[in-house]
Chain A
Amino acid sequence: MSTPLDGGALVRAEHVKKYFPIRKGILQREVGRVHAVDDVSLEVRTGETLGLVGESGCGKSTLARCIARLHDLTSGSVSFEGRDISRLSRRALRPVRRELQVVFQDPYGSLNPRKRLGTIIADPLRIHHYGDRAQIKSRVRELLELVGLSPEHVNRYPHEFSGGQRQRIGVARALALHPKLIIADEPVSALDVSIRAQVINLLDNLQDDLSLTYIFIAHDLGVVRHVSDRIAVMYLGKIVEISPAQELYQHPIHPYTEALLSAVPIPDPDLSERREQIVLEGDVPSPVAPPPGCRFHPRCRYATEICSQQEPPLVAYGSEGHLAACHHPLNTMRAPAADPA
């Protein structure tokens, strides 16, 4: 979709960790921790779309929320436009929030049912002192047109809209303050196929017109490939592979990526019959006590002894920015730079 502007990193996350304590008993003692995001580093370049994929509970939403500072980090840092925002106070964070907006998954839960559409979209404008009443009003109309809704709808309530329209409202609200980065957390998962395509195309067009940067979270790999320039695959709180989108789909290096791709049903009966499907056994292990070594080894069909003992580092394959963390990389002749063997 968009050509990545050769800008630097808009967002840089370094060694981000987010653990949620599990408390029990009368004294609410901490008895364990959910390792939701465990030492993740990545950068998002200006103008690109970074896709985040993985199964439920892999930490992709938590990571995005850490980047937006909707969660405080356990450790690590997040910088936005070169400035560390991970320790900023709420007040100091406010100007940053203008630049960095979130579109949520559930178009039903993320809009206040008691507010009219006009108020919902005008709220961020008022909070950030966008201008006087007339200016706000015209900005709201402008935003509604931008996302394909009729400006006459300003006095309606959210329940009067369909799922696809609500998601457009969510997008309009996120765009209100001319942000640079939009974090879209499963923005189309709750929508029907034909409506899904409409919203994806809307996001695509907006990116081109407003030169936005996206972090796009989804579990539908087809959708992610369609929108992303680069894709990061997460498993149990870690990034196991990160790569330019096309490269990832053609030459996955991590066995988990391979399995994930092969599990996507293909709407073509002959192809679907011909291809080899890798069915992963069992469920994702609990992030409270992740397996030692490579976190994927209990479900991996290539796993050997080393996989349960040593955690593979995320290393580069080739110069195209294709990184993977695996002891037994696929689709590559090159030995990983930091092979511990």
Chain B
Amino acid sequence: MPEPLLEVRDLKVSFHTEDGLVRAVSGVSFTLSEGETLGIVGESGCGKSVTMMSVMRLIIDPNARFEGEVLYKGVDLMKLSQDEMREIRGRGIAMIFQDPMTSLTPVYRVGWQIAEQIRAHERVSRQAAHSRAIELLSAVGIPHAKERVNDYPHQFSGGMRQRVMIAMAVSCNPDLLIADEPTTALDVTIQAQILNLIRKLKDDFGSAVVLITHDMGVVADIADRVAVMYAGRIVEQGEKRELFYDAQHPYTWGLLGSIARLDRPKPRRLTTIRGMPPSLINLPPGCAFGDRCPHRFDRCRELPELTDKLGNGHLDACHLGPEQKKDLREVTIHPELTPGPP
């Protein structure tokens, strides 16, 4: 196996707050090879965004504490100064944010905003940067790019703004593109357009992609590998097909069960995960999912390690044995999927 493009080793991020220490990320490790797409799935507050923001070193909160290593092409990003980091952002790693409404500056023309980034990383003339901006805008599918380049963000629709964000992110041919919920604010038809665009850019530029989302459907569509996060840890990680067809963690089962799916007969009631995600202050010892897990047993008082129990690179953090899981999985995901009335 070639050297990974990005390797995160035991990353821990915590925030000192008035209420106590919030352990947003408690020991996340993963690797990403060149050209690979990793999907990170989880609910709000599970630490998926904080993990990737930490990789980008974008968290500048003085109350934040970081531990662990983030190796990008062998260099530990956690040890770099902000000036050195600036060299990597944009050219090495670029990021697209969830909210295209607030991540563009309303007072500058979009062309200017794209050109600014190009000129920060390359010695090119204003003119050249401007024409690159036009090329990029048409590459991401904005019609009449030549005229639109002089428009302000408010003159674009949500989907268009996300395209502008993507144009900006790929302007310096990054090796790694981090997309944080890029389609959550968009309609399904526009979401399909944006996902196609990300796929096309990935093929054209050969970038690796980390896609953060809460939508299992989006992951199934675009990722190569998937990591499921819960309460600051990765609880399951594996190849996409392994994860969808041979899910190992009860939380993943719960996620798969609670989706109202179009490709299956309609169940009378959706499967739910009871309760709510735990507070990240004073996380109980043991498995964080324990309180909501329908299969909890004595050993769950110990914290389960994320290990490869199947021997095929499919990791999970659950004390249940693979055989037990086989029996429990289907009844947990579809407890009532018996042939009912159509």
**CB nearest neighbor in B for A162:** B276
Find chain A residues with CB under 8 A from B260 CB: 197, 200, 220, 222-223, 225-226
Q: State in angstroms the CA–CA spacing of A271 and B264 once bound together.
A: 11
In angstroms, how far is the closest chain A Cβ from the Cβ of B24? 16
Find chain A residues with CB under 8 A from B219 CB: 267
In angstroms, how far is the closest chain B Cβ from the Cβ of A60? 12
Given contacts A200-B270, A201-B270, A272-B220, contact A266 B190 (CB under 8 A): no
Given contacts A55-B187, A226-B260, A265-B215, contact A194 B268 (CB under 8 A): no
- A27 at interface, CB cutoff 8 A: no
Q: State in angstroms the CA–CA spacing of A261 and B263 once bound together.
A: 11
Find chain A residues with CB under 8 A from B216 CB: 193, 267
Cβ A279 vs Cβ B192 within 8 A: yes
Give chain A interface residues in 264-304, CB to chain B under 8 Å.
264-272, 277, 279-283
Find chain B residues with CB under 8 A from A266 CB: 217, 220-221, 261-263
Contact count A vs B, C-beta below 8 Å? 126
- A110 at interface, CB cutoff 8 A: no
**CB nearest neighbor in B for A286:** B157
Find chain B residues with CB under 8 A from A195 CB: 43, 276
- A14 at interface, CB cutoff 8 A: no
- A260 at interface, CB cutoff 8 A: yes
Given contacts A192-B44, A222-B261, A266-B262, contact A56 B187 (CB under 8 A): yes
In angstroms, how far is the closest chain B Cβ from the Cβ of A203? 11
Cβ A263 vs Cβ B189 within 8 A: yes
- B339 at interface, CB cutoff 8 A: no
Q: State in angstroms the CA–CA spacing of A319 and B342 once bound together.
A: 19
Residues of B near any A CB (own CB < 8 A): 43-44, 143, 157-160, 187-193, 195-196, 214-221, 240-241, 244-245, 254-263, 266, 268-274, 276-277, 342
Give chain A interface residues in 195-222, CB to chain B under 8 Å.
195-198, 200-201, 204, 219-222
Q: State in angstroms the CA–CA spacing of A271 and B261 once bound together.
A: 12
Find chain A residues with CB under 8 A from B143 CB: 282
24 intermolecular pairs with C-beta atoms under 8 Å apart: A192-B43, A192-B277, A193-B255, A193-B258, A194-B272, A194-B273, A197-B257, A197-B258, A197-B271, A222-B261, A225-B262, A260-B189, A263-B188, A263-B192, A265-B192, A265-B221, A266-B261, A266-B263, A267-B220, A268-B263, A269-B240, A272-B221, A277-B192, A283-B190
Given contacts A268-B244, A269-B220, contact A221 B263 (CB under 8 A): no
Cβ B272 vs Cβ A264 within 8 A: no
Find chain B residues with CB under 8 A from A259 CB: 189
In angstroms, how far is the closest chain B Cβ from the Cβ of A192? 4
Find chain B residues with CB under 8 A from A317 CB: none
Interface residues on A, range: 35 or more
- A157 at interface, CB cutoff 8 A: no
In angstroms, how far is the closest chain B Cβ from the Cβ of A285? 11
- A108 at interface, CB cutoff 8 A: no
Q: State in angstroms the CA–CA spacing of A193 and B184 once bound together.
A: 13
**CB nearest neighbor in B for A190:** B44
The 6 closest A-B pairs by CB, nearest first: A265-B217, A197-B258, A222-B260, A267-B216, A226-B260, A194-B273
- A164 at interface, CB cutoff 8 A: yes
- A246 at interface, CB cutoff 8 A: yes
Cβ A264 vs Cβ B254 within 8 A: no
Find chain B residues with CB under 8 A from A1 CB: 268
Q: State in angstroms the CA–CA spacing of A223 and B143 once bound together.
A: 33
Q: State in angstroms the CA–CA spacing of A201 and B335 once bound together.
A: 14
Cβ B189 vs Cβ A267 within 8 A: no
Find chain B residues with CB under 8 A from A260 CB: 188-189
Find chain A residues with CB under 8 A from B254 CB: 194
Q: State in angstroms the CA–CA spacing of A200 and B267 once bound together.
A: 12
Cβ A222 vs Cβ B262 within 8 A: yes
Cβ B220 vs Cβ A268 within 8 A: yes
